[in-house]
Amino acid sequence: MESDSVTKSCSGTQRKKLRSLNLKNLKLRDVNIKELMENSWKFLRRKWQLVTVICLMLFIPLIYGLNSSSAVLIVVDKQPLAVVENESQGKEILENVKNEVAEQYGITIAGFDTEISFKEGDPKDGSMLLPGEELNEELKKRINWLADCWVIDITGKPKLYLASEEAAQKALESVKQQYLPTADEQLEILETKFMEEVEIVSTAGPLKELITEAQAVEKMARGLDKIIQHSVKNGDSLWSIAHANNLTVSELQEMNPQLTGTLLQPGQELNLVKAEPLLTVVTTYQTTVEEKIPYKTVYESDSSMWRGQQSVVCSGVNGQREVTYRVTTVNDIETQKESIIEKILEEPVSRIVKSGTKVIMASRGDGGSGKLGWPLRGRLTSYYGWRGREFHTGLDIDGVTGDPIYAAEDGVVIERGWRGNYGYCVAIDHGDGLSTLYAHLSSIGVSMGQTVSRGDYIGKCGSTGRSTGSHLHFEVRINGSHKNPLNFLDR
Ligand SMILES: [Zn+2]
């Protein structure tokens, strides 16, 4: 009995050793044959039991396994998702889900572009979904279904998928309408077109990207938000960047959660969201408007009036015309406007103004106009008029030798040089009978016949001729007769 228990738990080589030991023991104990036979039979019986157990352990799972070898896993995007009896059951489920999706969206499902495969799997795998509502929902979600739809394809821009061709056309039409000029009876739209190449094409598009007509209009007209990077430059502030991009500071901060304060570092990158319209609408229209023709002003010179004096002979009247313009706008902005037909309804009447050319104006008191410029500014030391028995023909203005003397008005030099009591003197003819004279000069700065303008330098103050001290003797004559200069000088 001892030997049996040992055999059960020992390996082959150990067993051989034990067997020889038994034989030795047998010899020693002098055992008979019968006993030996009995022991051998017991041993074999035990062994068969063992073999049977082993066989059962091996075959039961194998038989079970063979029975369920048709179980497969549905693998979506390389990820096992569910276990089903066989591939055809899996395909049937997919077909049903496809029909459910089609019904739900009211659209024909053309297929899908998700990788789906079947592989042998363990039907007892608890991590897999089993056929049922939960699996259907999961498949609806995970599979990228392709719908029979229409795409608005704008060259170089993201595609827009719509359920019907009609919706796509209406969306494009709406975008055009948004940019049409305000309704006006006289307005005739000649053409609206897109600057971009636009096509509406039938396609199998991703169901998830399907949008409505209204969404398509908004995307095309208002544009898609696009994030761009702004590199901070010296002098930039959150406010200035926000302002330059039609944002508020808080919007800018929202786009850049990495900002901790309001201080910016040059070179720092900020995110800005900018709208990028997908379409540019070019509209050409014709419009007819009535507009006024502004009158012109015509000046006629009149020598009977003093210079600077004007009189309106005829007040102007605006005319009226009817003009047809051809206007081109690009997204609402007028880029071209040309008049193609113009019809005068009423000619304008010019405004006629008479403008005086006479240099010195009509008299005030002693024929003076108060319009001559002062040839020298200084204390008046002697006035025009009787000085005892002598008549003083001019005005004496105190000055220092060398002070500049200026022409009192535009004119022509008619005299320059020495003249007796006057000493060195200059006389200027201003036209219309008016002349001025400047005497006792220390030097003369003009030549005979020279044209001078009011305020021009003509010589220097002095005390030449009959003079008691340096001053300017200034005379005004009209048609050769002396006049009181004070009545002519600027006040
Ligand atoms: Zn004098």
Phi then psi for residue 433, to 5 deg, are 85, -5
> Where are the alpha helices (H) located in 247-370, listed in sequence order?
249-255
Q: Ligand 1 center to residue 471 CA distance, Å?
A: 8
Q: Ligand 1 center to residue 369 CA distance, Å?
A: 21
Q: Ligand 1 center to residue 236 CA distance, Å?
A: 73
More confident residue, 28 or 269: 269
Q: Ligand 1 center to residue 466 CA distance, Å?
A: 9
Residue 385 CB neighbour total at 10 angstroms = 10
Dmax (CA) of the chain: 200
Q: Ligand 1 center to residue 253 CA distance, Å?
A: 84
- Looking at CATH, the fold of the domain delimited by 380-487 is given as Glucose Permease (Domain IIA) (2.70.70)
| pLDDT for res 203 | 93
- The sheet that has 443-444: what strands, in order across it? 404-406, 457-460, 443-444
Q: What is the CATH number that goes with domain 281-356?
A: 2.20.230.10
Residue 367 has pLDDT above 50, yes or no: no
Q: Ligand 1 center to residue 473 CA distance, Å?
A: 4
Phi then psi for residue 407, to 5 deg, are -65, 135
Q: What is the CATH number that goes with domain 224-276?
A: 3.10.350.10
* Residue 219 burial class via C-beta count within 10 angstroms: exposed 0-12, middle 13-18, buried 19 and up: buried
Q: Ligand 1 center to residue 475 CA distance, Å?
A: 8
How does pLDDT run across 253-283, given as a tens digit for each residue? 888 888 877 778 888 888 887 667 788 889 9
Question: Residues 345-367: what's their mean pLDDT?
Answer: 68
| pLDDT for res 185 | 62
Q: For residue 209, what is the DSSP state?
A: G
For the chain, which residues make up each domain, given as ranges? 2-67, 72-143, 149-222, 224-276, 281-356, 380-487
Q: Name the band, by pLDDT with cuts 50, 70 and 90, for residue 38.
A: confident
Q: Ligand 1 center to residue 402 CA distance, Å?
A: 18
What is the crossing angle of helices 87-105 and 133-142, to 10°?
70
Which two structure tokens, joined as six digits, stand for 361? Answer: 């104006």
Q: Ligand 1 center to residue 482 CA distance, Å?
A: 13
The b-or-e profile of 453-484 (16+ CB within 10 A means b, else e) is: eeebebbbbbbbbebeebbbbbbbbbeeebbb
| pLDDT for res 124 | 84
For the ranges 25-39, 46-60, 168-182, 364-378, the maximum mean pLDDT occurs at 168-182
Q: Ligand 1 center to residue 359 CA distance, Å?
A: 26
What is the rounded end-to-end Cα distance, in angstroms, of the chain?
Answer: 158
Q: For residue 98, what is the DSSP state?
A: H
More confident residue, 139 or 368: 139
Q: Ligand 1 center to residue 383 CA distance, Å?
A: 8
Q: Are 145 and 105 in contact (CB under 8 A)?
A: no
| pTM exceeds 0.75, yes or no | no
CA atoms within 13 A on the CB side of 357: 6
| pLDDT for res 33 | 67
CA atoms within 13 A on the CB side of 285: 24
Question: Residues 119-141: what's their mean pLDDT?
Answer: 90
Q: Ligand 1 center to residue 477 CA distance, Å?
A: 14
The b-or-e profile of 34-59 (16+ CB within 10 A means b, else e) is: eeeeeeeeeeeeeeeeeeeeeeeeee
Closest to 83 (Cα-Cα) out of 91, 93, 73, 75: 73
The span from the CA of 102 to the CA of 111, in Å, is 11
